[in-house]
Amino acid sequence: MPKIISTVQIAANALQRGELVAFSTETVYGLGAIATDSAAVKKVYDYKGRPYNHPLILHVHHPSQLLHWCHNIPKIATKIAEAFMPGPLTLLLPKKDIHTEFTAHSDYLAVRIPSHPVAQQLLQAVNSGVVAPSANRFGYISPTCAQHVQEEFSDKDDLLILDGGNCSIGIESTIVGFVHEDYFIARPGDITSTAIEKLLNKKPIDIPITTRAPGLLKKHYSPNTPLQLCTKDEIAIKLLADKDTAVAVLAFTRPLLHSPQHTWLAAPLDAKEYAHVLYKSLRAIDVSPATSILIEIPPLTDEWLAIHNRLQRAAGGYD
Ligand code: TXA
Ligand code: MG
């Protein structure tokens, strides 16, 4: 069983010895390793069961470190970094000719500067880049508290988890990529496309989604229990037809439940609050008797885009 600790220096020493340390960020918990330690990076892939051709995000504590790893940074990327870093944002930047084991031969490097104080302290203490994918097994939902990480890696006795409480945001960072001085949203997140558009006074471009990156796979971020996205009316019909099965419903208002097997989880009406509880709710359903999940489709406004993205992937139906 991994050990949950709260002393940053112990975590930093372990990382420097080549061990893995899961740590909190404001988005989700990451499974950290020193980026230049090839053996530790390999261990991250092995622990997650993640294919080696899926690149990892590099975490640093200060924007000045971007220049150590990246070059030819587009002007608009600098502007976005100044506005939103540290924060729930990852930038895909042209990589310097540095040997890296974690970029899957891409010319681009994904870089993040988390704002969570525990992540900041850890990154400062190691004073080196740390790769950190979400601290879950490949394909499953990201962890948003130390206990989730402990459950994910219950067989890994040598793993340390640096506890930073519940993640305030609860879903993974917004990923932004660049084509010259244009930008695209590779993964929607808490920082919305509208917020970036306002800052730059420029709309994002559309690029074809490659299915090579794991966060961009059709099915990813999935609970074990089959999940369906439905309208309020569809939920009512399904519950009526399915009186004998254990169904969990995540909906904005209480549906008519027809049997003690049906359970309702109240979905928050605010998008940020919804993101904050989403993965925790899905994990709770996974350990409940429910054999299926019905989720009421959230509003279609920009602030809900990241949630739609995660829900559609969790349901396995995103194109
Ligand atoms: O909020 C987050 O971003 C969390 C926390 C721990 O920082 N991390 C996270 O990492 O979500 P991960 O590995 O679960 O998702 C990283 C995403 C994947 O979709 C990956 O393919 C993409 O970033 N990515 C990483 N490096 C890339 C690159 N060089 N080019 C394109 N996509 C990249
Ligand atoms: Mg992940």
Whether 92 is in the pocket of ligand 1, judged by its Cβ within 6 Å, is yes
Q: How far is the CA of 184 from the centre of ligand 1 (A)?
A: 15
Rounded mean pLDDT, 53-76? 96
By the 8 A CB rule, do 221 and 310 touch? Answer: yes
Mean pLDDT, range 68-87, rounded to an integer: 97
Residue with CA closest to ligand 1 atom 10: 133
The model's pLDDT over 171-202, given as tens digits with 9 standing for 90+, comes to: 999 999 999 999 999 999 999 999 999 999 99
pLDDT of residue 195: 98
pTM of this prediction?
0.95
Work out the pLDDT band at 207, boundaries 50, 70, 90: confident
pLDDT (0 to 100) of residue 209: 61
CB 38 within 8 A of CB 101: yes
Token pair 């049997």 is found at: 259
How many angstroms does the Cα of residue 219 sit away from the middle of ligand 1?
Answer: 15
Q: Is the CB of 216 inside a 6 Å radius of any atom of ligand 1?
A: yes
For 183, the 3-state DSSP assignment is strand
Residue 23's contacts (CB-CB under 8 Å, 6 or more residues apart) are: 11, 29, 30, 32, 118, 119, 122, 132, 161, 162, 164
Q: What is the pLDDT of residues 6-40, one digit of tens each?
A: 999 999 999 999 999 999 999 999 999 999 999 99
Tell me if 296 sits within 8 A of 251, measured CB to CB.
Answer: yes
Assess contact for 44 and 190: CB atoms under 8 A: no
**Peptide bond between residue 86 and the one before it cis (omega within 30 degrees of 0):** yes
* 208-240 residue pLDDT tens: 765 445 555 566 678 999 999 999 999 999 999
Residue 184 CB–ligand 1 contact under 6 Å: no
Closest ligand 1 atom, residue 88 Cα: 1
Nearest CA owner, ligand 1 atom 32: 213
DSSP class of residue 163 equals -
pLDDT at 46: 97
- pLDDT score, position 99: 84
Question: How far out from the chain centre does Cα 249 lie?
Answer: 23
pLDDT tens string 114-164: 999 999 999 999 999 999 999 999 999 999 999 999 999 999 999 999 999
Cα(106) to centroid of ligand 1, in Å? 13
Res 218: pLDDT? 60
Q: Quick one: which atom of ligand 1 is closest to the CA of 135?
A: 6
How many whole angstroms from 134 Cα to the centroid of ligand 2? 4
What pLDDT does residue 217 have?
58
CA-to-CA distance for 133 and 153, rounded, in angstroms?
14
Closest ligand 1 atom to Cα of 103: 29
pLDDT, the chain, mean = 94
Q: How many angstroms is it from 128 CA to the middle of ligand 2? A: 22
Ligand 1 mutation target, pool 52, 60, 172, 176, most atoms within 8 A of CB: 172
| Structure confidence at residue 212 (pLDDT) | 43
The tokens for 172 are 């993974």
Query: Of all helices (H) and strands (E), which one includes residue 122?
Result: helix 117-126
Cα distances (angstroms) measured from residue 208 to each of 105, 211, 220: 20, 9, 18
